[in-house]
């Protein structure tokens, strides 16, 4: 009796496996929804749309981009995590959900509740002021804030995002205090800075067009090294503070996605990374292509999870 039961289970598993294979072979049979967790017009949105446009050619179906901003980049990812793992709702992800998780502000697990698909890029983060600002250099900013605590406000893409935590770490290292005004993304930050509602912006390179137009001044970047596009702009490390802001850019889906579907999506997005439109937009925003396959990206996300946990604890922002 027991042996018969085992045979039945084996047959059921075989047919289930064949069903998944058939399902994956046909995938996709309808448009795919790509959730972008920041507002339209920012560096994440513009580059992700170019990537999606390239991928549709290899998937044979449209990849429809949908902006779901809020929560420092976590609302959109939470929406993806709650969907079925059939591959028809996927999303862009950064380090922000992991930061929010360790700060106690997330209702899903950024590793256990998501399926990594591909890593496709890096951000360029920087600090900008208006062109008519009294601050000509980042050293001017630091000298002023040391003498005038909390008298300077800065915008970031949200609490728990890499540009926010970088400013918090800089404040701790330099023993100064800025006033944080979180926003939903770079478009909102740019508008606030142009209007004089904040003094600085710490965000990704959606400020680049305004820097190039002479409306903003880029004071410093958060990278390990100077960027090719703005070689005259120093890093925060060069100014004397050992602080770097990092964040990956990748595509994820809900947990439980069948491996053949993950592989199809991975392959389409990998080919899209070689499309001229995508390369041109990444270059325009001085964002580097950074490819990791599904397995490599899963390992990276685990490492990123552990490193961010240490940083959040170091800053005293961890959940109590």
- pLDDT one-digit tens code per residue, 229-261: 899 999 999 999 999 998 999 999 999 999 999
Q: Give 51's pLDDT tier (boundaries 50, 70, 90).
A: very high
- Residue 106 has what pLDDT? 87
- Residue 8 has what pLDDT? 54
- Residue 246 has what pLDDT? 85
Asked if the domains at 2-123+247-314 and 125-239 fall in one CATH topology, the answer is: yes
- Per-domain residue ranges for the chain? 2-123+247-314, 125-239
Domain at 125-239: CATH code: 3.40.190.10
Residues 65-122: tens digit of each pLDDT: 999 999 889 999 999 999 999 999 999 999 999 999 999 878 899 999 999 999 999 9
Instruction: Please tell me the CATH superfamily of domain 2-123+247-314, with its number.
Output: Bordetella uptake gene, domain 1 (3.40.190.150)
Residue 15 pLDDT > 60: no
Between residues 25 and 209, the one the model is more confident about: 209
- Residue 280 has what pLDDT? 95
- Average the pLDDT over 272-279 and give the result: 97
Residues 168-202: tens digit of each pLDDT: 999 999 999 999 999 988 999 999 999 999 999 99
Residue 23 pLDDT > 90: no
- Residue 160 has what pLDDT? 87
Segment of 15-19, 242-246, 268-272, 310-314 carrying the highest mean pLDDT: 268-272
Q: Can you give the three-state secondary structure of the chain, one letter per residue?
A: CHHHHHHHHHHHHHHHHHHHHHHHHHCCCCCEEEEECCCCCCHHHHHHHHHHHHHHHHHCCCEEEEECCCCCCCHHHHHHHCCCCCCCEEEEECCHHHHHHHCCCCCCCCCCCEEEEEEEEECCEEEEEECCCCCCCHHHHHHHHHHCCCCCEEEECCCCCHHHHHHHHHHHHHCCCCEEEECCCHHHHHHHHHCCCCCEEEEEHHHHHHHHCCCEEEEEECCCCCCCCCCCCCEHHHHCCCCCCCCEEEEEEECCCCHHHHHHHHHHHHHHCCCHHHHHHHHHCCCCEEEECHHHHHHHHHHHHHHHHHHHHHCCCCCC
């Amino acid at each position: 009796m027991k042996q018969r039961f085992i045979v039945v289970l084996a047959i059921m598993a075989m047919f289930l496996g064949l069903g998944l294979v058939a399902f994956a072979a046909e995938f996709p049979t309808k448009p795919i929804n790509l959730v972008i967790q920041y507002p339209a017009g920012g560096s994440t949105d513009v580059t992700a749309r170019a990537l999606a446009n390239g991928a549709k050619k290899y998937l044979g179906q449209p990849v429809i981009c949908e902006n779901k901003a809020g929560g420092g980049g976590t609302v959109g990812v939470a929406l993806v995590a709650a969907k079925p793992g059939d591959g028809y709702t996927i999303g862009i992800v950064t380090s922000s959900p992991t930061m929010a998780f360790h700060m106690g502000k997330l209702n899903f697990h950024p590793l256990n509740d998501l399926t990594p698909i591909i890593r496709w890029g890096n951000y360029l983060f920087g600090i900008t002021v208006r062109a008519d600002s009294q601050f000509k250099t980042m050293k001017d900013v630091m000298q002023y804030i040391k003498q005038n605590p909390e008298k300077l406000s800065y915008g970031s893409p949200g609490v728990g995002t890499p540009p926010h935590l970088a400013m918090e770490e800089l404040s701790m290292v330099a023993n100064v205090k800025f006033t944080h005004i979180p926003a939903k993304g770079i478009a909102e930050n740019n508008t606030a800075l142009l209007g004089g509602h904040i003094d600085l912006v710490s965000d990704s390179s959606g400020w680049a067009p305004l820097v190039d137009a002479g409306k903003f001044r880029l004071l410093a970047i958060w990278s390990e090294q100077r960027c090719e596009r703005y070689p005259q702009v120093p890093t925060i490390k060069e100014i004397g503070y050992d602080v770097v802001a990092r964040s990956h850019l990748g595509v994820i889906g809900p947990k439980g996605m069948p491996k053949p579907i993950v592989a199809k999506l991975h392959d389409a997005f990998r080919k899209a990374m070689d499309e001229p439109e995508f390369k041109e937009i990444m270059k325009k925003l001085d964002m580097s292509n950074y490819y990791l396959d599904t397995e490599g990206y899963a390992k990276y996300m685990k490492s990123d999870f552990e490193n961010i946990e240490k940083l959040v604890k170091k800053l005293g922002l961890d959940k109590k």
